[in-house]
Amino acid sequence: MTDTKNNIISAARHLFAQQGYHGTSVDSIAKKAGVSKGTLYWHFSDKFELYRTVLILEVEKMKRIFRSNVCDVTDMAEFIYRRGRLILEAFGEDPESVLIWMDLLVQAKRGREEFKKIARDLTSYIKKSIDESVLASFADAKKESVFLLLRLVILGLLSCLGSVMDAQEAVVSWKVVVDLVLRGDE
């Protein structure tokens, strides 16, 4: 990627995080990146393509985190806890990621199909990272309920990150939920 394109993406990421998709104009992105609108349009056909690029890079960042932090544990609860901790810590270290994520969910909630599709794609990676760790451990009837509960908890914790709780509090809460759900009354 060229430096110019990277500057545009970086400026857009910051503005999308701070002002949301609808609050960010192409003019403000170009100004922050130090380029003309023509240069911006040379690299991206429109604001939505730029937004989608920012989000794809967010997913790629999560994939790199998981690849570089392979868990070598055999205990399922510990594996799920570590996966959730990685997600929460990554978002906790980068408050703009949380803001971008929340804006995407708000935009998807407003009903635009293109935002819904991106939100589903993004959450599918989080879903996969949690679900793959519990595949063999529950009866089929219970498995879907456990998957759903854990996904909802991690999404809920992410939505509270930086406002109601910090990353460490979120990680502790995640540990408690994993222990309750997976270990039960052992």
49 in any annotated domain: no
The amino acid present at 94, given as its one-letter code, is: D
Please report the DSSP string for 134-186 in residue order.
TTTTS-HHHHHHHHHHHHHHHHHHHHHBTTTB-HHHHHHHHHHHHIIIIITT-
Cα separation of 114 and 118, whole Å?
Answer: 6
Q: Do 82 and 133 sit in the same domain of this protein?
A: yes
Q: Are residues 73 and 136 in the same domain?
A: yes
- Summarised one tens digit per residue, pLDDT across range 62-80 is 777 766 655 565 667 777 7
Predicted local confidence at residue 82, as pLDDT: 82
Q: How does residue 182 score in pLDDT terms, banded at 50, 70 and 90? A: confident
Q: Are residues 17 and 74 in the same domain?
A: no
What is the count of structural domains for the chain?
A: 2
For residue 158, tell me if it sits in a domain.
yes
Instruction: Write the pLDDT tens digit of every residue in 95-150.
Output: 898 899 888 888 888 888 888 888 887 777 666 665 555 555 555 556 667 777 77
Answer yes or no: are the C-beta atoms of 16 and 100 closer than 8 Å: yes
Q: How confident is the model at residue 33 (pLDDT cuts 50, 70, 90)?
A: very high
Q: Are 69 and 115 contained in the same domain?
A: yes
Question: How confident is the model at residue 27, as a pLDDT?
Answer: 97
- DSSP one-letter code for 132: T
8 Å CB contact between 119 and 108: yes
The pLDDT mean for the chain works out to 83
Kindly state the tokens that stand for 150. 């854990």
Q: CATH code at 174?
A: 1.10.357
What CATH number corresponds to the domain at position 31?
1.10.10.60
Structural domain of 138: 54-183
Same domain, 78 and 23: no
pLDDT at 74: 63
Tell whether the model's pLDDT for residue 7 goes beyond 90: yes
Contact between 29 and 40 under an 8 Å Cβ cutoff? The reply is yes
Q: Residue holding tokens 């451990």?
A: 137
C-alpha gyration radius of the chain: 18
Residue 156 has pLDDT above 80, yes or no: yes
pLDDT value at position 143? 65
Q: Are residues 130 and 59 in the same domain?
A: yes
d(CA 143, CA 103): 30
In the chain the first and final C-alpha atoms are separated, in Å, by: 52
Pick the closest to residue 21 from 53, 66, 45, 43 (CA basis): 53
CA atoms within 13 A on the CB side of 9: 15
Say whether both 3 and 35 belong to one domain.
Answer: yes
Q: Kindly state whether residues 73 and 126 are assigned to the same domain.
A: yes
89, 123: one domain: yes
Select, from the ranges 6-20, 62-76, 101-115, 154-168, the one with the highest average predicted confidence (pLDDT): 6-20
Predicted TM-score (pTM) of this structure: 0.78
